[in-house]
């Protein structure tokens, strides 16, 4: 078989009940939830298992919740002797990827993303920033729509997800204008996203400056698996590079399509989405349909993934 990449989801993958089944069935997963509760000083496990949609939409809670579920799922996979040749994570997911690669301790990561979420929420007053997904237009056409819509404000590409999907971010009024321009330019869909802040735009600079202090005070080991970073769409092999990438990531776009194409060029033909939801699996289908995409978020998806990987290994042998 070819190479395997673990890819870790970011915000908007959350749902109530996520991770509960894995925590009930596997002590390795349960231990991660317990560690998260202890590190944060409040029961994030309860928010994952029973939280309301409103609670789970709060950025300061969403981020540690998704990270915890992702790392719990990753530990169960590693107990099943399934590992990765490369790791990558979408935005917040990059923290999960660094934990998987041994660069960042889980307790440090969960505290960092709780702060990251808090800082992001506080960077821009509620209602002043927005994000929108534009489907069916090339990144270049979307960039032009953003430029025309800005009118002195901020409007920029935040997530370059696939040839067909770009998420934009900035001042609420400018983002709304960009939606109209994109619709007139022939977008299949252009919709506002239910997020509480304009992530990956220059409006996040106050959050970046606050988070940088915390990141500089945190120890990063050299990863034992190559990590593909969002900001450069390239692999890093040093802990210091991981830290710098996370600092820049707050205000810079997520270059997801380029990151995935880089992994394809490296010979990856199996992508396992580790954590809640199947957002990245869907994006992968827009980038390259010929690869194997699997996911692990509950018992059923875990078993299906283990069976597929085991079968592929025995075929290769």
- What is the widest separation between alpha-carbon atoms in the chain? 60
CA distance 274 to 93: 10
Q: What is the pLDDT of residues 178-231, one digit of tens each?
A: 999 999 999 999 999 978 799 999 999 999 999 999 999 999 999 999 999 999
- 91 classed as catalytic: yes
pTM: 0.97
Instruction: Please list, in sequence order, all residues whose beta carbon lies within 8 angstroms of the beta carbon of residue 244, skipping any fewer than 6 positions away.
Output: none
pLDDT single digits (tens) 225-278: 999 999 999 999 999 999 999 999 999 999 999 999 999 999 999 999 999 999
Considering 13, 45, 91, 301, which one is annotated as catalytic? 91
Question: Strands 268-274 and 292-296, how do they pair?
Answer: parallel
The yes-or-no verdict on residue 148 having pLDDT over 80 is yes
Sheet (strand 227-228) strand order: 235-236, 227-228, 86-89, 3-8, 268-274, 292-296
Q: Which residue has the higher pLDDT, 194 or 149?
A: 149
Catalytic residue among 200, 201, 259, 301: 200
**Which part of the chain is CATH 3.40.366.10?**
3-123+203-316
Residue 4 to residue 74: CA distance in whole angstroms: 13
Helices (H), 130-171: 139-150
Select 129-195's CATH number: 3.10.620.30, 3.30.70.250, 3.30.110.60, 3.60.20.10: 3.30.70.250
Start-end ranges of CATH 3.30.70.250 in the chain? 129-195
Is 200 noted as a catalytic residue in this protein?
yes
CATH code assigned to 3-123+203-316: 3.40.366.10
**54, exposed or middle or buried, with CB in 10 Å at 0-12, 13-18, 19+?**
exposed
As given in the structure block, the two tokens for residue 23 are 């925590």
């Amino acid at each position: 078989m070819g190479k395997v990449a673990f890819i870790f989801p970011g915000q908007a993958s959350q749902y109530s009940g996520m991770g509960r089944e894995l925590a009930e069935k596997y002590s390795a997963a349960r231990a991660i939830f317990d560690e998260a509760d202890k590190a944060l000083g409040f029961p994030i496990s309860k928010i994952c298992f029973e939280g309301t949609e409103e609670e789970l939409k709060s950025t300061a809670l969403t981020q540690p919740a998704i990270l915890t579920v992702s790392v719990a799922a990753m530990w169960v996979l590693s107990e099943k002797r399934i590992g990765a040749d490369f790791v990558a994570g979408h935005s917040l997911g990059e923290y999960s990827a660094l934990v998987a690669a041994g660069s960042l301790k889980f307790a440090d990561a969960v505290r960092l993303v709780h702060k990251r979420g808090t800082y992001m929420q506080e960077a821009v007053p509620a209602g002043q920033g927005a994000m929108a997904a534009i489907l069916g237009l090339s990144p270049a056409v979307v960039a032009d729509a953003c430029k025309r819509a800005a009118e002195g404000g901020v409007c920029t590409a935040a997530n370059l997800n696939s040839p067909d999907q770009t998420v934009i971010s900035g001042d609420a009024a400018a983002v709304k204008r960009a939606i109209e321009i994109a619709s007139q330019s022939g977008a299949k869909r252009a919709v506002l996203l239910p997020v509480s802040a304009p992530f990956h735009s220059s409006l996040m600079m106050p959050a970046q400056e606050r988070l940088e202090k915390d990141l500089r005070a945190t120890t990063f080991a050299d990863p034992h698996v190559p990590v593909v970073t969002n900001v450069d769409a390239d692999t890093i092999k040093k802990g210091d590079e991981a830290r710098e990438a996370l600092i820049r990531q707050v205000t810079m776009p997520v270059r997801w399509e380029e990151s995935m194409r880089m992994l394809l060029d490296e010979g990856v033909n199996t992508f396992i989405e580790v954590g809640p939801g199947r957002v990245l699996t869907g994006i992968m289908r827009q980038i390259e349909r010929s690869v194997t995409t699997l996911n692990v978020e509950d018992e059923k998806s875990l078993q299906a993934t283990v069976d597929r990987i085991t079968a592929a290994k025995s075929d290769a042998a």
